[in-house]
Structure 1
Amino acid sequence: MNIKIFLLLSLLAISGITAVGQQEATALTFSISVNDEMKASFNPDGRLLIYLSKTEKPEPRYSSVFDGKAFIFGKNFHNWKPNEIKEISGDNDWIKTSEWDFNSVPQGTYYVQALWVQNRDAESRSNTPGNLYTTAVEINTNKTQLVKLSFSETIPERKLEDHELVEYFEMESPVLTDWWNKSMHLKASVLLPSGYKNNPDKKYPVRYNVAGYGGRYTRINSLIKNEEFMSWWTSEDAPQIITVFLDGEGPFGDCYQLDSENSGPYGEALTKELIPQIEKQYRIEGTAKSRFVDGCSTGGWVSLALQLIYPETFNGCWSYSPDPVSFAKMQLVNVYQNENAFYNDRGYLRPSMRDIYGEPRFSIKQEITAENVEGYSNTYVTSGGQWGAWNALYSPKGKDGLPVPIFDPVTGAVNKEAAEHWEKYDLLKHTASNWPELGPKLQGKINIWMGDMDNFYLNNAMRDFDEYMKNTTNPKSDAQIEFTPMKGHCSNYSHKKVLTEIQQKLDEME
């Protein structure tokens, strides 16, 4: 070794400073209690999530783990008595997003917060009503220390904005209740047109809006708070169309509004229960000619899938930036041919998100690692996240009663048997195999927009779908599929634009 380097390293060691590329680490222990006001609502069984973030805002429980500034640890606990103070040390059985554990936390300033996920029967995700959380505590890991946290806050129930044009809808679903053997409810919010209450004998066309991933019926609130939209909506220029905002909640994340071996008959519940009931209650015309569906991202995929699978139920879909419509290009994964979802054939990590200039933001492996922490099974299968929901919809039910994972949660190895089951939900395969019967029912009904630099690589699958539709015969498809250069995910989506185009179609039908 060069004598100068040797002397430098010796001095560093004597002074307690680490060499370049290394970082001193500290052990953390936790003492977690339940605030007196929370004890009555505290469920002794749940999943504890501990967040460490290098930034104060947003709260650690909302921080992104994909920028290297926030980390999540997850572990199930049972029989945690409300009066018990849980002492936690750095054992190795935590599922985590970091490469280090509580025994070796890199030195620095962190904001620490805990979340108690105790309400899984009601909702599938972590930051949802009924779950408890602590306030964030600032620490500096310059020494071994005990971090004291107390569950003092409850995530509140959702509520809609108070507005004369807003209605809340809820019904028990007989078919889902029977399937799950417990009471299951469907929820939605309704945006009425400005003339609704002054025309008690008039019947209206309807637009069913499907949210982006995990979107809830409360997303109507953002429109009500949008002064520009509401000024237009309450003007004489706005279409007289009722919008129903469907709820995305399901047992394993977003239900995707379709029948599933794992989540149950959500497609049947929508088409045979919710739609008939809501159209009766709100003076909707109740015919397929006056019924439309739209959405972006997950909502883009669901709206297109509903139009393809129930072609005679809807008279048109407006699908923006839909999730992968072909699983041969499930983002950058070919689930039918690739051996591994995390790494491509050259051994490179597959990105899951990019900016519109192609710069990767995070990988599929990072995404799954985070979902593994959230999942009560210690895997993404029960995370309530994006991959968990895709997997619940497309995969068969396993012997353990949970969805069969499409790929290994740690290694990324693809399960070929599960992939075969996914074919049923491959929209390109479905369309191609049923075109002689399906094609005539879709004429004039398919409207799709896609940014050609979609942030989640969704344009790849849509290019294949577009190519197929352009080459159809008997009949020749008239699907309107638009690609816009250098546009990203959902960047052209507009409620006003969709409503205006639906009205144009209604005018053409007269």
Structure 2
Amino acid sequence: MITAMARLLALPLSGLALIGAAPPETRFDISLRAALSDDASGRLLLFAAPLSTDNGKSEDIDIYGPDDARIFVAGRDVASFGPDRTVSIDAEEGAFPKGLAGLAPGDYRVQVVLDRDGDYNYGGRGPGDLVSKVVTLRLPLGARPSIALDHKLPAAPAQFDVTGLPPRAAEQITASRPHLHDERVVSTALTRFRGTPQSVAAWVLTPPGYDPHGRVTYPTVYTAGAFGTNHRVDGQQLSRIWHLMETKAIPPMIWVTLDFASPTGTTEFADSVNNGPWGEALTREIIPALESRYRMDAKPSGRFLTGHSSGGWFALWAMVRYPAFFGGSWASSPDPVDFRHFIGVDLYQPGANMYRDAQGVARPLERAHGAVKTTIAQAAGIETVLGRDGGQLRSFDWTFSPRRADGTPAPLFDRVTGAVDAQVAAYWRDNYDSGHRIETQWPRLRHDLDGKVHVVVGTADSYYLDGAVHDLEAAFRKVGGRAEFIYVPGASHSINEVYARDGDRNAYYREMAQAMYAVARPSGATGGALKRNPPAGGRVRRRAV
């Protein structure tokens, strides 16, 4: 779901304007050092935070970090730095939460970043971005400051570089390395849609004892990461799975992590008029190609889905959309699966508004320990400043919305007022609302879907995603369908909290892996001396419908 970039609260304001006084300076001159590049383009971002003991010596001022609730950011697009290698940015315009002149007087730590590939909303600053040194400035400004873009961020570490990682994590990543296979699958469907060659990246983890030339085949688990992950992170996260298989805590299976990151956010492997036919590519091209390269079962009873957060939405949607193709889905803390609770908002209610409820109260987006961390309006505001696309909220538009005449997706809601577009919401409902799909198409779905859906979520999910899961459960109950819903009391959006039972963070991995294997091998064969574990218990509320 939403990453830490959304945790921005309103800054204190002060009345700086005096009758007859000149308005404060809000412009900055940003220069490009010749040693960095002949010229550059991208999204220019200026960050400012009140000087504190935490950031007084920091080399980075960003939307992340312990003081991110007090971060100011302004942005503008830059096509060129021109012959004088300088551009200006007016921090009174295109700023969050308000213009620079509205900030309280005092000392601020300021840094400028040129996001060269336009993915700040998705992954933050990264390799190749140009960055200035952090400077301390006093507001209100007495003169127009000049700040130089000083250095280029280096390339990302190698895939299996474990420098700085905890010893246990480093050990698991190193041990899994010989069993991880980096794959690229060319997609004719996506190439046809985009007009340029397209391929999908995946990591394939083979189990202990795997023989590529043997006769033994394995059940296969397809998974995707949370919003903000990428192909490199996907590979590292499979190290935990290798450790569990190596220690016989889970059965031997092939695990595949699929990369669904794109310049517009995550595609969710859903067919979309904006992103393209990702569902078609998954089921007709990617999976068949991998099954031709590896000793996979290559049949519905041997194909499984799992994922967390945005990956959880993928795992559930692929199951509901292609019920005859997969043997079961285990989704955890999925992005909204029923749009009657879309981050707490009923999109179908007349006059629905993403920013405020019927009483005018600001709608929360993120909570922690019972307290609101940020609102939907604030998250939308920061996304708008950081860039046009790539943020979580805009990513939903790219996946779920109809396409406008200009080739961009219709926004679900007005980014200024928060008003929901009822026609766009109806399009979302008819094409991507899993709960609505269950209620309206159950006679057609029942034969292939009944009993295959498993969802787990925390009762204190950080983004209120448990509400939509309850709606999905109600949809199954309404049609008399069988599915499993697990609610973990007090658990937030953290996968470690959702998967943990009695202090064991791997408990749900074991439970779902054993359940998958039981579907694939109903005879009870385990492929080795598997450590049998009872269903994860603890304080979970388990509901089978």
Q: For the superposition of Structure 1 and Structure 2, which TM-score range results when normalised by the shorter chain? A: 0.7 to 0.9
- The 3 A distance-change label for structure 1 pair 108 and 239 is farther
The answer for the alignment partner of 1:403 in structure 2 is: 409
Partner Cα separation in structure 2 for residue 89 and residue 441 of structure 1:
57
Question: Contact conserved, 2:113 with 2:149, CA < 8 A, in 1?
Answer: no
Q: 3-state DSSP class of the match of 2:223? A: strand
Name the residue aligned to 1:115: 113
Partner residue in 2 for 1:275: 287
Find the partner of 2:191 among 166, 174, 177.
177
Counterpart amino acid of 1:274? I
Matches within 5 A, 1:31-42: 31-39=29-37
Distance 1:67 1:353, change over 3 A: same
Counterpart secondary structure, 2:373: strand
Cα distance in 1 for residues equivalent to 2:337 and 2:59: 34
Residue identity in the other structure for 1:394: F
Q: How does 1:339-418 map to 2 (within 5 A)?
A: 339-356=352-369, 358-376=370-388, 382=389, 384-418=390-424
> Would the alpha carbon gap of residues 189 and 110 (structure 1) be closer, same or farther in structure 2, given more than 3 Å must change?
farther
Matches within 5 A, 1:32-431: 32-39=30-37, 43-44=40-41, 46-54=42-50, 55-56=54-55, 59-63=60-64, 68-81=69-82, 84-88=84-88, 90=90, 92=92, 94-101=93-100, 103=101, 105-120=103-118, 125=122, 127=124, 131-141=128-138, 144=142, 146-154=145-153, 156-157=155-156, 159-161=158-160, 163-197=177-211, 200-223=214-237, 230-337=242-349, 338-356=351-369, 358-376=370-388, 382=389, 384-423=390-429, 424-431=431-438
Using the TM superposition, name which of 483-492 and 282-291 deviates more: 483-492
Q: Tell me the residue number matched to 2:516.
A: 502
Contact 2:414 2:420 in 1 (8 A): yes
Q: Which moved more, 1:386-395 or 1:66-75?
A: 66-75
**Match for 1:59: what amino acid?**
D
SS in structure 2 at match of 1:186: strand
In 2, distance between residues paired with 1:114 and 1:136?
A: 8
Q: What whole-Å deviation, never above 9, does each CA across 1:182-210 have from its counterpart, x for those lacking one?
A: 22221111222121248744322110012
Gap change, CA 1:470 and 1:315, over 3 Å in 2: same
What corresponds to 2:539 in structure 1?
none
Name 1:461's counterpart in structure 2. 468
Distance of aligned partners of 1:438 and 1:198 in 2 relative to their CA distance in 1, 3 Å threshold: closer
Q: Tell me, in whole angstroms, the C-alpha distance in 2 between the residues paired with 1:172 and 1:158.
A: 26
Post-superposition CA distance 1:38-70 (Å, at most 9, x none) = 316x544x2212222345368323426995321
Give the Cα separation in 1 of the matches to 2:519 and 2:327. Answer: 10
**1:189–1:218 Cα contact (<8 Å) kept:** no
AA at the equivalent of 1:63: Y
Aligned residues of 2:412 and 2:424 also touching (Cα < 8 A): yes
TM-score, normalised relative to structure 2? 0.79
- Can you give the 5+ residue segments of structure 2 that lack an aligned partner in the other structure? 1-11, 18-23, 161-173, 500-505, 525-545
* TM-score, L = length of structure 1: 0.85
Cα contact 2:274–2:399 (8 A) shared by 1 = yes
Instruction: Give the 3 Å change call, closer, same or farther, for CA 223–325 of structure 1 in structure 2.
Output: closer
1:215 to 1:91, Cα distance in 2 relative to 1, 3 A: closer
Tell me how far apart the structure 1 counterparts of residues 299 and 46 of structure 2 sit (CA, whole Å): 50
Tell me which of 462, 479, 500 is aligned to 1:472: 479
Q: Secondary structure at the match of 2:90?
A: coil
The count of aligned residue pairs is 473
Matches of 2:289 and 2:79, distance apart in 1: 41
State the Cα RMSD in Å.
2.8
Structure 1 counterpart of 2:537: none
In 2, distance between residues paired with 1:289 and 1:231? 25
Give unpaired runs (5+ residues) of structure 1.
Answer: 1-19, 377-381
**Larger displacement relative to structure 2 (46-55 or 170-179):** 46-55
Question: Are 1:111 and 1:136, in contact at CA under 8 Å, matched by a contact in 2?
Answer: no
**What's 2:169 paired with?**
none
SS at match of 1:468: helix
**1:429-449 Cα deviation digits (max 9, x unpaired):** 111111011012113311111
Cα 1:313–1:43 change in 2 (3 A) is: farther
Contact 1:298 / 1:322 at 8 angstroms: preserved in 2? yes
Distance 1:307 1:392 in 2: 21
Q: Distance in 2 between matches of 1:243 and 1:288?
A: 15
Select between 460-469 and 155-164 the one with higher mean Cα deviation: 155-164
Distance 1:194 1:409, change over 3 A: same
Q: Percent identity over the alignment?
A: 26
Cα distance between partner residues in 2 of 1:155 and 1:255:
28
Partner SS for 1:286: coil
Question: Which stretch shifts more, 432-441 or 246-255?
Answer: 246-255
C-alpha separation in 2, matches of 1:21 and 1:369: 17
In 2, the alpha carbon distance for the partners of 1:124 and 1:180 equals 22
Higher RCO, 1 or 2 (CA under 8 Å, sep at least 6)? 2
